Structure 1
Amino acid sequence: MTSVVTELGQITTWLSGGTPSRANESYWAGDIPWISAFTLKQTRLSDSDQHLTSAAVTAGSKLAPQGAILVLVRGMALHREVRVGIATRPLAFNQDVKALIPGPGVDPEFLVYSLQARVALIRGLVSSAGSGTGVLDTSRLKRLPLWLPSKGEQVQIREMIAGADEQCDALAGLIAKKREIRLGMLQALLTGHVRLPGFDDEWREIVLGDHVSYLRTVPLSREQLDESSPLRCLHYGDIHTRASVRLDAATEAMPRAQAVLAGQAGRLAPGDVVFADASEDPAGVGKSVEITNVPAGGVVPGLHTIAARFDRAVLADGYKAYLQFIPNFRESLLRLAAGTKVLATTRNYISSVRLVVPGVEEQSAIARVLLDADAEIDALERRLESARAIKTGMMQELLTGRTRVPMEVDL
């Protein structure tokens, strides 16, 4: 059985993507999936939330062929995870993604698994841009060492890993379906189109600015944070990358900050809502978390955040976590942020929003129903995490040459 140790850049050709003009609406009415950080989340990539025409690809993007490996090289998600996938059909992609075309003798699926097996090494190549956005050093990534056996052994190895991968994909698909059901519940319950039994009081209109105070934030960069100080710090990037709308700051892993750096920043309390005040994507506008618990050492709102403390007599704890899903809330923020390169949210924008809401008892009941739905999804997420750990263990053995696959004939 033959094998070599090589470097990623020696066995791949690299392509850079782009974003066609948003001003030309016809560019965005095609059937070619356009991959961004928002959609590069699975091993096999075949579709996206946005699609381009052929003219758009020529004018401002790039087409990755089937079998290309797509790697996220810029985005806040890189501080948390490495995103790598394989194109199962020709796909367009933006400037935050690189497409790697495998060379002769390299099986594409073997290569994508090899990269996934080295996520710890790849994360070590991530640094922060001035805004806190993660940047993957592509020149160093090209020098990433890879073990490359014969083509036949590559195929056998990736077929073995594919079984574990299929289980992960099945769980991910189930989670996606549960999220769709949850989204339907959110839209129905938060707009009053569906009322819970026992509630028939008329909803009332409020202006958020009449019922909120804001805490002082502290603009600490990633480089100023640490892992050992008692004081925790909530960075806007961590709001964007988390799935849960609630944050138990007392038990969840969070970046830390020295108290002297935090200065006069406000200390968060249970019930506070912390918004990310900037987003590179419309889907991130209004993204927020509600604080459910705080540690003895305290927690402060960090870079690019807005910390809001709403009147509990008007907005119930638990319900506030879902403000971001009320259609009128997001639409109002998107309308105010329109025209800016980075979509911004401000205190004034939040304060100006008018919402029609139920009484606090009905709000609490709605929050309990949605919390149950979230708990079901969280349980599936834990199963998926376990399945991925098993897959990772297989990859670390098979994709490094530590455990070899018996071969009869090389392909």
Structure 2
Amino acid sequence: MQKANIINSNEVVGERPGYKHTKLGWIPEEWKVISLKELAVIKRGRFSPRPRNDPKFYGGDYPFVQTGDVSNSSNYVRSHSQTLNEEGLKVSCLFEKGTILMTIAANIGHTGILAYDMACPDSLIGIVCGKSVDNQFLNYQFNYNQKRIEYLAPAGAQKNINIEFLAPFKIVTPPIEEQKSIAQCLLTWDTAITKLNKLIKTKQKRKKGLMQQLLTGEKRLPGFNGEWKEVSLSNIAKRVTRKNTELNDNVVTISAQKGFIKQEDFFNKRVASSTLLNYTLVNRGEYCYNKSYSNGYPMGAFKRLDDFDKAVVTTLYICFRLKENVYSNFMNQFFEAGRMIQGLMRIAQEGGRAHGLLNIGLSDFFGLKLQIPSHKEQTAIAQILNAADKEIQLLQEQLKQLELQKKGMMQQLLTGKRRLINN
């Protein structure tokens, strides 16, 4: 890989020495604005059989990629959902390694470069680069311009685009050697991001294993061998029914994946002040149980209010505070590990998922049984699991910074605001 230096061209009003003005903004004089059809051959994928799931076409040696495989890829498409046999290949379209695939329905404009030959359906198009464009560079341009690509879709119930709309799409294009240098520079960031993502997943998997061992008593910490006690939730928690008499307007909702978030951010709307009195006021450190089930939380989610001193929530949530005979950090891990799922399954009434909410009575809820260790062992377990969380959070912050850096570099390099000069 060639070494490159970055030089900056400051924005100026009016004329810019060494730059020219185009419909896509100021670009270096030797760069061009070229339509996609001039840079590459564009071909739509194909899979004509109906019904699509007819087994006679599947189970062979030809990888069959789907839109999800492309959307979930990181630069290169390295996995496939299904395989086709010879009969399946006859009614599909095989693209060679190095082809850029783009999603053209639902999630429009997601792209990835094929790591090996794959067949694909008509919800994807294949873009085969000509000699004047580098496939990695073009793929980064697609990433950077995804919003522009989305705008190509005609208005309708289900957005989609076709080759007719995509072919004239304009691409800012430097000389081929500079394209390759830009792609290699951005690939450095992507490599670091991929490695950090992998490390985070490893740490999360390890933490999940620790939770399974430590929160069930399967593995005991040194110095602890006492029996765990069975208690009812009512023995360690007291319901919170505090009315919002102060008309606090910090309305939050529970996202199973993210915890408490402001309702205006989640639903893009505010709650009228006249109805705030009907909400429950919760304080920092208190818990809410959301009876709505979601991915990864089949029996609803328990969340502790950590990010706000006070907040108000819907009365559909069951709110409670813990008594002093348990350690809150332990119970927070206990709830997050899904240790209440089996009990909730037993008390959820048959067919009681009205409006997406589990039908769980208050007395049954607070009567739930759970096995917990001594307060001292709770503290020791929580310290280990919280340390694992902290490590993961720090890595996630590093990942966020890398992604921001990459975004900034794309904005600079792919527009020519910064140039790479090869040594």
Q: Same fold (TM over 0.5)?
A: yes
On the 8 A contact 2:281/2:313 being kept in 1, the answer is yes
Amino acid at match of 1:110: F
The CA deviation string for residues 350-401 of structure 1, in whole angstroms up to 9 with x for no partner, is 9386532224443333222211111111111122222222222211112223
Q: Is 1:4 paired with 2:18?
A: no
Q: Secondary structure at the match of 2:198?
A: helix
Counterpart in 1 of 2:196?
171
Q: Which residue of 2 aligns with 1:300?
A: 313
Residue 46, structure 1, aligned to residue 78, structure 2: yes
Q: Do structure 1's residue 257 and structure 2's residue 282 form an aligned pair?
A: no
Runs of 5+ consecutive residues of structure 2 not aligned to the other structure: 1-29
Residue 312 of structure 1 corresponds to: 323
Query: How do 1:298-377 and structure 2 match up within 5 A?
Result: 298-300=311-313, 306-313=317-324, 316-326=327-337, 328-330=339-341, 346=358, 348=360, 351=365, 354-377=369-392
Q: Indicate the structure (1 or 2) with the bigger Cα radius of gyration.
A: 2
1:266 corresponds to = 280
Q: Does 1:204 align with 2:229?
A: yes
- Deviation for aligned residue 1:311: 3.8
CA distance in 2, matches of 1:72, 1:334: 41
Deviates more, 1:160-169 or 1:112-121: 112-121
Matched, 1:88 2:112: no
Corresponding residue for 1:128? none
Aligned-residue CA RMSD (Å): 5.6
3-state SS in 1 of match to 2:371: strand
> 2:418 maps to which residue?
403
**Cα separation, partners in 2 of 1:357 and 1:392, compared to 1, 3 Å:** same
Identity of aligned pairs, percent?
Answer: 20
Choose the corresponding residue for 2:249, options 228, 231, 239.
Answer: 231
Contact 1:266 1:301 in 2 (8 A): yes
SS in structure 2 of the partner of residue 348 of structure 1: coil
Provide the rounded CA distance (Å) in 1 between the counterparts of 2:199 and 2:394.
12
Query: CA, structure 1 residues 175+196, in 2 after alignment: closer, same or farther (shift >3 Å)?
Result: same
Residue aligning to 2:25 = none
TM-aligned CA deviation for residue 172 of structure 1: 1.7
Deviation string 1:273-321 (CA, Å, 9 cap, x unpaired) is 4547232x4577645532124246x34359xx84542543565322333
* TM-aligned CA distance change 1:356 to 1:402, over 3 Å: same
* Structure 1 counterpart of 2:140, one-letter code: Y
- Would the alpha carbon gap of residues 341 and 301 (structure 1) be closer, same or farther in structure 2, given more than 3 Å must change? closer
How far apart, in 2, do the equivalents of 1:52 and 1:341 lie?
A: 34
- Report the Cα distance in structure 1 between the residues aligned to 2:297 and 2:158, rounded to whole angstroms: 23
What displacement does 1:179 show? 1.5
Residues 380 and 197 (structure 1), Cα distance of their counterparts in 2 relative to 1, 3 Å cut: same
One-letter amino acid of the counterpart of residue 4, structure 1: V
Q: How has the CA–CA distance of structure 1 residues 337 and 347 changed in structure 2, closer, same or farther, with 3 Å as cutoff?
A: closer
Offset of 1:145 from its aligned partner? 6.0
Structure 1 residue corresponding to 2:405, chosen from 381, 390, 404 = 390
Q: Partner residue of 2:127?
A: 102
Say if 1:84 and 1:112, in contact at 8 Å, map to a contact too: yes
